[in-house]
Amino acid sequence: MPFQTFETIIGHNSNIAGMRAAIKAGNPGHSHLFHGPKGVGKATFAKAFAQILLCKDNSDNSEKSCGRCTSCQNMVAGQHPDFINVAMEEEKTRISVDQIRDLSAFLSLTPMESQWKIALIDDASQMNAQAANALLKTLEEPPDQSILIINTYRYGVLLPTIKSRCIKTRFSGLSQEELIDIVTKVVDSSSENIQQAVALCGGDVAQGVLLCESGVGEERGVFLREIEIIGGVDLSVVCTMAEYWSKPERFANTLLMLKAWFQEQIRGSVNSNKGPESIRKWLSLVKWADEIMGQAMVVNLNKRLVLESLFIKVARLCGAKF
């Protein structure tokens, strides 16, 4: 994903206007909490905000970054000495107290090439209890030249004492058109493929880009043709399908395509006159499928067998006699 500025970000217009006004007023705030759905660009927004504040061409509270100074270039390169991004480390399950202590120490230093020290925590709901408590100390007494930005898509998980000390900015989900525009900027692909990827990405830009790069558009056409007739084929065909769609390079996409297809079936049952019995059957199948698919992604279940049992249930629901 190339670096974005407030001028190039798609969506979130009122949030951009709000931040620009705060910068213009010379009051960018010490502690921010950005919350809203996963993958809509909260971190991208935070970095664009930071770039303006750190820009050397910014002495008159300009609401834009110049894009040319060494500070702007360092932000784009992801190596500004006055900005850090704290995220969960690889192979860890939480953001640790040591990471938060490092962050606090960083914020208390004198800026090296700008007016501010800026830290981003992404995603803050991943902090363990000790880390969250350590962060509270910094929030209670923020160093003069510091700005802390806390991102989360799980607002309810954060400590109330953290939330109450931050200026809160809520991010909305992006529209289909906005998602398509963003993915089109990042990936060079057919519009059909981009549309299919966006339809499956659940509003998450990074997921949409990955799906697009994996060529999900073409795959989805094949998948839909096969699953639409699954009620009328032999068991051996169902097993062959399971083998094909469970291949490691395909499996994650298969689950997404299945989930989207299930939603369509439920919508279809509701809209048709098949009655509550049909809706109930789909709902209970989807509930079971969600559980087993969730397990298949984290536990080392045999993926072919998972899909085989899923496809057999779907086929039976669609009228197969085996």
Judged by the rule CB under 5 A, the positions of this chain that interact with Zn ion are: 55, 57, 65-66, 69, 72
The overall longest dimension of the chain from CA atoms, in Å, is: 75
Query: Residue 48 in 3-state DSSP?
Result: helix
Paired tokens of 136: 């509270």
Least distance CB 55 / Zn ion (angstroms): 3
Least distance CB 51 / Zn ion (angstroms): 7
Q: Of 79 and 236, which has the nearer Cβ to Zn ion?
A: 79
Q: Of 66 and 87, which has the nearer Cβ to Zn ion?
A: 66
Q: Of 57 and 181, which has the nearer Cβ to Zn ion?
A: 57
Q: How far apart are CA 154 and CA 122, in angstroms?
A: 11
Q: Of 64 and 304, which has the nearer Cβ to Zn ion?
A: 64
Q: Of 55 and 216, which has the nearer Cβ to Zn ion?
A: 55
Least distance CB 67 / Zn ion (angstroms): 6
Strand order, beta sheet including 146-152: 83-86, 117-121, 146-152, 31-35, 167-170
Question: In degrees, to the nearest 5, what angle opens at C-alpha 89 toward C-alphas 86 and 95?
Answer: 60
Least distance CB 85 / Zn ion (angstroms): 19
C-beta separation of 278 from 269 below 8 A: yes
Q: How far apart are CA 198 and CA 178, in angstroms?
A: 10
Within 8 A by CB and 6+ apart from 267, the residues are none
Least distance CB 145 / Zn ion (angstroms): 18
